Amino acid sequence: MTKKDQLYEGKAKKVFTTDNPEVLIVDYKDDATAFNGEKKGTILGKGVINNRVTNHLMKLLAKEGIPTHYVEELSERETAVKKVTIVPLEVIVRNIIAGSLAKRVGRPEGEKLAKTVLEYCYKDDALGDPIVNDYHILAMGWATREEIDLIADYSFKINDILTAYLKEVNIELIDFKLEFGKTSDGTIVLADEISPDTCRFWDSTTGEKLDKDRFRRSLGGEEEAYREILKRLLGE
């Protein structure tokens, strides 16, 4: 499978068409951004790690019955995926209070939530991905009632699968972001990526941050943290 035209260049990945109209190739970059693109940098080797980690987790989820866009890993940084129309929502799943939720509700990071929290943000960089609810989603026509229910159902199931899996390698899944899309036949599938860029991973023993917060908060050691995740998940 080979790349044809570049369809899109995002902050972390490039997306290309292929000879198959149903299949795209995503190419993961080392570029890192935070605060809606305000902070820019590079995390050496990040693209390779995010590609491998995403594919590893997508395959695990597929085995557990979650439909995904994953088709085939083509190289260190490139993966063939099913072309989907992205539902314009960032679905955020939270087990422990951190990041923007800590600010929003004035509670300390690290506090366990009594119940898993699901949030939706409207995917629009110019607007800063504002938080929205089911009423907004239905009123704006971003998804139907059935689609929202399915997305929520998949998101909780993904949380259960990943939480249990990560626990085995001494990682606590604090929160993460998912994107879903619709294939040409209307099926909702998990798309985009699941990586240290899109999840908060804390070492279960020490609480050390093993994710993009090292970059966001200028903590240093981001390359080592991403490599540690690769090592714990894939043994490499």
Residues near ligand UDP, by CB under 6 A: 90, 92, 98-101, 129, 175-177, 198-200, 212
d(CA 205, CA 25): 38
69 binds, among ligand ADP, ligand UDP, none (CB under 5 to 8 A by kind): ligand ADP
Q: Is 104 helix (H, G, I), strand (E, B) or coil?
A: helix
Q: Is 82 a residue that touches ligand ADP (CB under 6 A)?
A: yes
Site for ligand ADP in 3-32 (CB under 6 A): 8, 10-13, 15, 24
The closest residue (CB) to ligand ADP is: 10
d(CA 100, CA 78): 31
181 binds, among ligand ADP, ligand UDP, none (CB under 5 to 8 A by kind): ligand ADP
Q: Is 157 a residue that touches ligand ADP (CB under 6 A)?
A: no
User: For residues 69 and 232, which CB has a smaller minimum distance to ligand ADP in the complex?
Assistant: 69
Q: Is 236 helix (H, G, I), strand (E, B) or coil?
A: coil
Beta bridge partners of 79: 26, 73
Angle among Cα 30, 36, 41 to the nearest 5 degrees reads 30
User: For residues 154 and 176, which CB has a smaller minimum distance to ligand UDP in the complex?
Assistant: 176
3-state helix, strand, coil in the chain (%, to 5): 30, 35, 35
209 binds, among ligand UDP, ligand ADP, none (CB under 5 to 8 A by kind): none
